Amino acid sequence: MQYRQAKTGKLLIDILPNKCDFCGCCVGVCPEDAIELKEAEIYIIDSRCTNCSKCIWACPIEVIKFDKEGVPEKQVNK
Amino acid sequence: MKEEYDIIVVGAGPAGTIAAQYAAKEGSSVLVLEKDRDVGYPVRCAEAINREGLEAFIKPDPKWINAEITKFGFVAPNGKKVIIDLGKVEGYMLERRIFDYELAKIASEAGAEILTRTYVNGLILEDGKVTGVKYEFRGQQMEVRAKIVIGADGVESRVGKWAGLETCVDFRDMECCFQVTAANVQCDQDTLFFYFGKEVAPEGYFWVFPKGEGTANIGLGVSGGIGKKRSALSYLNSNLEKFFPTANILTQVAGGVPSVITLEEIAAPGIMLVGDAARQVNPLSGGGISSGMIGGSIAGKLAAQSIKNNNLNYIKKYPKEWHKARGKKHKILDKLKDGIYSFTDEQFNKLIESLIKLPSKKRTIGRFFIIALANKPSLLKEIVKVFVI
Model confidence over B197-221: pLDDT tens digits?
A: 999 999 999 999 999 999 999 999 9
Report chain B's mean pLDDT, rounded to a whole number: 95
Average pLDDT of span B267-280: 98
Which residues constitute the domain of residue B147? 4-44+97-170+260-329
**B369 and B247 assigned to the same domain:** no
Partner B contacted by A1 (CB < 8 A): no
Phi, psi for residue B187 in degrees, rounded to 5: -155, 150
**B236 and B360 assigned to the same domain:** no
Average pLDDT of span B224-251: 96
Say if B51 falls within a structural domain.
no
**B152 and B106 assigned to the same domain:** yes
Cβ(A41)–Cβ(A70) under 8 Å?
A: no
Phi, psi for residue B43 in degrees, rounded to 5: -90, 110
**B12 and B116 assigned to the same domain:** yes
Q: Return the SS3 of B101.
A: helix
Asked if residue A8 has pLDDT above 80, the reply is no
Look at residues B329, B351, B366 and tell me which one is the last residue of a structural domain.
B329
Cβ(B212)–Cβ(B174) under 8 Å?
A: no
Model confidence over B50-99: pLDDT tens digits?
A: 999 999 999 999 999 999 999 999 999 999 999 999 999 999 999 999 99
Model confidence over A14-42: pLDDT tens digits?
A: 788 788 999 999 999 999 999 999 999 99
- The CATH number covering residue B254 comes to 3.30.9.10
For B301, half-sphere exposure in the C-beta direction (CA atoms, 13 angstrom radius) is 10
pLDDT band of residue B266 (cuts 50, 70, 90) is very high
> Which residue out of B161, B173, B228 would a mutagenesis test of the A interface target, given it has the greatest number of A Cβ atoms within 10 Å?
B228
Q: Name the A residues in 31-70 with CB < 8 Å from any B CB.
A: 31, 33, 36-39, 54, 57-62
Question: Of B93, B95, B285, which is closest to residue B190 (Cα–Cα)?
Answer: B93
Contact B174 A39 (CB under 8 A): no
Give the residue on A whose Cα is nearest the Cα of B228.
A57
**CATH 3.20.20.140 is held by the domain A13-66:** no
Contact A25 B176 (CB under 8 A): yes
Asked if residue A75 has pLDDT above 50, the reply is no
| Chain CA centroid to CA A20, Å | 10
Distance CA B278, CA B255 (A): 17
* Domain positions in chain A: 13-66
**B22 and B108 assigned to the same domain:** yes
Instruction: Please give the pLDDT value at position A67.
Output: 61
Chain A neighbors of B138, CB-CB under 8 A: none
Q: Which range (B44-48, B284-288, B371-375) has the least confidence?
A: B371-375
Distance CA B24, CA A30 (A): 34
Average pLDDT of span B235-258: 97
**B369 and B316 assigned to the same domain:** no
**B271 and B308 assigned to the same domain:** yes
DSSP string, B117-185: SEEEEEEEEETTEEEEEEEEETTEEEEEEEEEEEE---TT--HHHHTT---PPPGGGEEEEEEEEEES-
Instruction: Please give the pLDDT value at position A73.
Output: 46
Cβ(A22)–Cβ(B215) under 8 Å?
A: no
Work out how many domains chain B is built from and give that number. 3
Q: Enter the ipTM.
A: 0.93
**B210 and B344 assigned to the same domain:** no
Mention every residue, 6+ apart, whose C-beta is less than 8 A from residue B59: none
